[in-house]
Structure 1
Amino acid sequence: MPPQSFDTSGGSWRMVLAMLLSGTIGLLVVESGLPVMLVVWLRCLLGALGLAAWVAYSRQWLRPTRAEVGWLAVGGLALVLNWVCLFTAYGHSSIAVATVVYHVQPFILLLLAAMLGQEAMPVRKLPWLLLALVGVALSSGLLEGGHAASWAGVLLALAAASLYAVATLATQRLKRLSAAQIAMLQMVMGVLALAVPAWQLAASAQFSAKAWAAVAVLGLVHTAWMYTLMYAAFQRLSAQAIAGLSFIYPVVAVLVDLLWFGHHPAPLQALGMVLILLAVWAYRKGKS
């Protein structure tokens, strides 16, 4: 599809809104006060229901083949475990640090693709990978005497990014199915995979009105609606425009962490976050 004007295609406002919503996911997770595993299960359940309604309305349903069901299972399990790791990371470091470290996804995807023989590792990308790794080390806070929990949060964010890369590679094998149907079925996989631990946690969880509101918004707005916004934006915008607007997500997450929770990163942590974003921006700019 040739590049289209932002004003005429409507892709830019959809992408901006989707990224603004993404940046506030951490706020909803923390404010729900519920166990992470339960939050993820409810997000999968509500997101699957919302996306199922959209798939039915837009008539995008196709019956998956046996091979596609296998890749859906791999991608779905990786996707929900990615959320478990990322949401858990919020409590060990901060929303800002976890979100920015999570954005090393492109480099992890590049490494996995090279390991699987799908794509050669371009030498010109290595300096940006090294810069991102330096940023990760600084973001941990350990160089400034930070608590070991900060490092645990960084490791969980890296694990989340790795799982998301696995989900991406699995999804690339599903070219026949629509993106909305893939996301819906992956979330159904998540509902099934996390059903037992989620029900066990639900028995002792405190479901306040605030908790219900947070998970409802997370599942219906920040999952089902946000996915449809992103898919529509992807169809209308160039890769360069998508890469540029994607940086709204970590910036909003940093602002939420600063203004809502009052978390101020130490100077070296802030420098590390800037280095990560710079490395990812340079990498994506080179791909566009």
Structure 2
Amino acid sequence: MAHSSTVSPAVAVQSSAAQAKTAGGNWRMVAAMLLSGTIGLVVIESGLQVELVVLLRCLLGALGLGAWLWWRKAWTAPSSMGLWMMAAGGAALVGNWVALFHAYAYVGIAVATVVYHVQPFLLVLAAALGGEALRWRQWPWMLLALAGVVLTSGLGTDAALAGEHAAAGLPVWGVLLALLAAALYTVTVITTRRVQNTAPAQIAMVQMLAGGVLLALWQAPVLAAMALQGWQQPAGIPIRQTVACVLVVGLVHTSLMYGLMYGAFQRLGAAAIAMLSFVYPAVALLVDLWWFGAHPAPAQWLGMGLIVVAVVGYRWQELRAVQR
């Protein structure tokens, strides 16, 4: 007698729904990472001072996320501790943007983005400072990433990413700024994890408002001078280009991108999110090579490769440990 291998309609429906959910998460994550990889291009092409771009990004991003929260009626009253954590995370998030965008001028978008992706290792070190033991399996990947950072910095060589947008100076300053950005983002991750029962979009909106206020206070003299002297458009850049870039950074690279990422996080597992995240540095590298004509030295190519291998290896190892 033949054994029946038919699947019940209920199981088939559940399987189909799960596949549709995963597919929806895949395209959202890929779209979000594609946008992330092009943000450096838009920031540079705006022609504006980095701090001003970040301030406008905070304003437009908060407005876009606020509109989404209002439409979905997803706002909840945060606790006092949650509010403080969001404010601290916002200060770190905005500082992270400022440092990363400044890094572009020294080493270009590609190197800055790849170095920025050592952030998982900084999170491990932060946990170690909090009393959590470092496992011996983590050390080889961390040392490999460190070697990659040293090679990417161009230390001991005349190597630099000589793109048209690169500022005069040692590439090491750009690498240090990218590492600072990664460290600040680590602070954002830690503080965000301590906020409970709050929609991710609300957390992001409050972070942008808090960080934007602090940045505005820091830039008060510059903003006051602009108000007194009037707007001065950057030389050689049409006003329409600047306005378009600012709108894209605030509404597309912030509001829309956050919505896509959060939607992907709700639909995908950790393994898929970790692997699809590498669309971001890949796109950033292509933008730097194609649009800005960057020319990494062989040592820098090797360094970026080591960083990518280290981060992929570390995440793969962590995921295997979770699945056991």
AA in 2 matched with 1:57: W
Q: What amino acid is the match of 1:253?
A: A
Q: Alpha-carbon deviation of 1:216?
A: 0.6
- 2:165 maps to what in 1? none
Matches within 5 A, 1:263-278: 263-278=294-309
Alignment identity in percent? 56
1:134 paired to 2:147: yes
Equivalent in 246, 249, 256 of residue 280 of structure 2: 249
Q: Which residue of 2 aligns with 1:24?
A: 38
| Paired position in structure 2 for 1:71 | 85
Superposition map of 1:1-288 within 5 A: 4-5=18-19, 9-117=23-131, 119-146=132-159, 148-198=169-219, 200-202=221-223, 203=226, 205-206=232-233, 208-288=239-319
Q: Quick one: distance in 2 between partners of 1:214 and 1:30?
A: 9
The question of whether the paired residues in 1 share the 8 Å contact of 2:159 and 2:297 is answered with no
Task: Give, in whole Å, the separation in 1 of the partners of 2:255 and 2:193.
Answer: 20
Instruction: Look at both structures and tell me which one has the larger radius of gyration over its CA atoms.
Output: 2
3-state SS in 1 of match to 2:284? helix
Shift of 1:206: 2.0
TM-superposed CA distance for 1:198, in Å, is 4.3
Q: What's the Cα RMSD here?
A: 1.7
2:163 maps to what in 1? none
Q: Determine the C-alpha separation between the residues in 2 that align with 1:43 and 1:213.
A: 12
Scaled by the length of structure 1, the TM-score of the pair is: 0.95
Q: Which SS does the other structure have where 2:77 is aligned?
A: coil
Q: Deviations over 1:225-253 (max 9, x none)?
A: 00000000000011000001000000000
TM-score (norm 2): 0.85
User: How many correspondences in the alignment?
Assistant: 286
Which shifted more, 62-71 or 251-260? 62-71
Q: 1:227 to 1:37 in 2, by over 3 A?
A: same
Structure 1 residue 159, shift from structure 2 partner: 0.3
Change (3 A) 1:67 1:10: same
